[in-house]
Structure 1
C-alpha cells in the first residue's frame, strides 16, 4: 500500500488536461471508423484529399474548414467527421460525375478538443483519409448569434457569389443560406429551455441544369450555412440550389448573374 501511495495516482485517476484528452482522441476514431466504413481500408498519407482548419479556433461555433482534392483522383464523395462532437458526422458531400470538384469550404461547430477527419471516396471505390487537430470547445451548445425572430424571418434566403480564379478552367462560387441550424444543445437565453434541433438535412447544387454536388448535413454545420467551392466543370447557365430541413421546409432558388 505504501509503495502504491508513493507512486502517486495512476493516469486513469488523474484529471486529464484538454491537450491530453485531445492526444487520446484517436480512441474515438477507432470506434467511429468501423461504424462508418466497416472493414474497408482507408489509405493515409496521399494528396487525394487535404484538410485545413485553425489549430485554435477563434469561435467554436463557426470553425472554418477547407477540403482540397487532387483533380487526377476523381473524388466522388467526402465524409467530414468531427470525432468528439455529440453527432460526429458533420456532413457527407457527393460530387457529380464530371463536376471536377477541386475544393470545398464550410463552417462547423466544434464541441471539444478534437481531430477532424475527412474521408474521400474516389470513382473506383477506394477510400482516402486525412485529419487535422482543432482546439475549441462548446461550439454545439453556443448560443445563436442572431435574434430568433430575425432568424425566423430570414430563414431560407439564399445568396450565390462567383469569384474569378487564376487557374483556368477552374471556377469558384459560394452559396450562403440563412438558417439557424439549431443543434438541439443550445438553450433559449430567456427561458433557459433547450431549443429543439432544427437544421438543414439535404442540399443540392446544380449548374446549367446539371448536378455539381449534394450534401447530407447534421447538427455540426454552423448557423447560416456557407459553402464555397471550386470546380472544373464548364457547364454554362445559372446555378440552382435546393435545400430541405428537419421540419420539412424546402428552400429553392435559381441564381442569375455573378451575385444574386
Structure 2
C-alpha cells in the first residue's frame, strides 16, 4: 500500500480531538465531599438557561486558565457567584457579589488548576442557587513558578491598569482591570533558596463607578498571579472606575482609573 494511503488509513482509526467546549462537569467524589461545605443543604439547580461557563478543555497554561461566566437569561438577576476548582488544595477560588450595573453578568477571570479538575460556578439568584461549569485538563498550576523573583514582584505590587473597550450597544461598556500582585499560593518555591514562598494573595477586591458597586470579590490562592478581570457593565456616567484591593499581609491598594483612553 502506498505510504500516503497507509497514513490516511491510520488517521481514520484515531479518535478525533474533542471540540473546545465538549468538557462538561464530571461531578465526581471530590465534589460530593465539597458540596456541603460550599452550599450547605440548599438545593442547586442546573444553570442551563440562566448562564454558562466557558473554560478550555485542555489549558494552555495551568497557572492562568481563563474562566468566563456569561449570563444567558437577563431577566433573572445573578447577585453572587462562587468559583470552585474541585481538585485544588483550596477549592474555592473566588466569591463574587454583584451590583445591579453588572447585569447581565459577563465576567472573565484567570485561575490556577492544580490537576485535572471540574471548574464550576455556583450562582445565586432570588430563586436560589444554580450551577454550571467545565472539566479542565491541566496540572501543576498552583505550584508553577512565579514570573518574577520576589523582590521584583514587590517593587510593582499594587500597580493597576484599566483597558476600556468600545461599547457593544447603548450604555453597556466592557472593561479589563489588571492588578500587579504575585498572588503566591504557598506551594511555590523560591528559585534561589528552594524554600516554599509563604502564601500572599489578594483577599478582597472592590470595583465601583462613583459610589455604585459593580463587584466585590473575596479571593483565595487559586486566582492567578497578576489578576485580570474582564467584565461588562452599564455605564452610570462616572468618569472613572474606583478599584480597591487588600491582600493577606494587610496591604491596601487603591486607584481611580479613568474610563476613557483605553482601547
Scaled by the length of structure 1, the TM-score of the pair is 0.87
- Which residue is 2:143 aligned to? 141
Matched position secondary structure for 2:245: strand
The offset of 1:146, in angstroms, is 1.7
User: Which residue is equivalent to 1:184?
Assistant: 186
Q: Does 1:119 align with 2:128?
A: no
Partner of 1:74: 77
Matched with 2:244 is 242
8 A contact 1:25–1:115 mirrored in 2: yes
Judge which range, 227-236 or 180-189, deviates more.
227-236
Count of aligned residue pairs for this structure pair: 238
Q: Distance in 1 between matches of 2:28 and 2:136?
A: 13
* Structure 1: unaligned runs, 5 residues or longer: 1-21
Query: For residues 196 and 165 of structure 1, what CA distance do their matches in structure 2 show?
Result: 41
Match of 2:162 in 1: 160
Instruction: Say whether the 8 Å CA contact 1:52–1:66 is kept in structure 2.
Output: yes
Task: Summarize deviations over 1:207-251 as a string: whole Å, max 9, x none.
Answer: 122111100000000000000001235343311000000000000
Q: Deviations over 1:78-110 (max 9, x none)?
A: 000000000000000100134424311011100
Q: 1:48 aligns with which of 47, 50, 64?
A: 50
Structure 2 gaps, min length 5: 1-23
Q: 1:40 to 1:82 in 2, by over 3 A?
A: same
In 1: Cα distance, 2:247 partner to 2:159 partner? 13
Contact kept? 1:141, 1:183, Cα under 8 Å: yes
- Is 1:93 aligned to residue 96 of structure 2? yes
**Contact 2:241-2:259 within 8 A present in 1 as well:** no
What secondary structure does 1:214 align onto?
strand
How many angstroms apart in 1 are the aligned matches of 2:239 and 2:74? 23
Distance change in 2, residues 1:125/1:259 (3 Å): farther
> How has the CA–CA distance of structure 1 residues 74 and 49 changed in structure 2, closer, same or farther, with 3 Å as cutoff?
same
SS of match in other structure, 1:32: helix
The answer to whether the 8 A contact 2:101-2:233 is kept is no
Which stretch shifts more, 49-58 or 225-234?
Answer: 225-234
C-alpha deviation, 1:73, in angstroms: 1.1
CA deviations on 1:144-175 (whole Å, 9 max, x unpaired) are: 01232221100000111110133333210011
Aligned to 2:34: 32
CA RMSD of aligned residues (A): 1.8
Deviation at 1:25, TM superposition (A): 5.6
- TM-score scaled by length of structure 2: 0.86
What is the distance in 1 between the residues matched to 2:47 and 2:112?
Answer: 26
86-95 or 169-178, which deviates more: 169-178
Pick which of 173-182 and 204-213 moved more: 204-213
Conserved 8 A contact 1:102-1:232: no
The reply on whether 1:193 has 2:195 as its aligned counterpart is yes
Note if contact 2:93-2:219 (Cα within 8 Å) is conserved in structure 1: yes
Aligned-pair CA distance for 1:30? 0.8
Q: Is the 8 A contact 2:25 2:133 kept in 1?
A: no
User: Which residue matches 1:222?
Assistant: 224
Q: Are residues 103 and 202 of structure 1, via their aligned partners in 2, closer, same or farther at CA, if it must alter by over 3 Å?
A: same
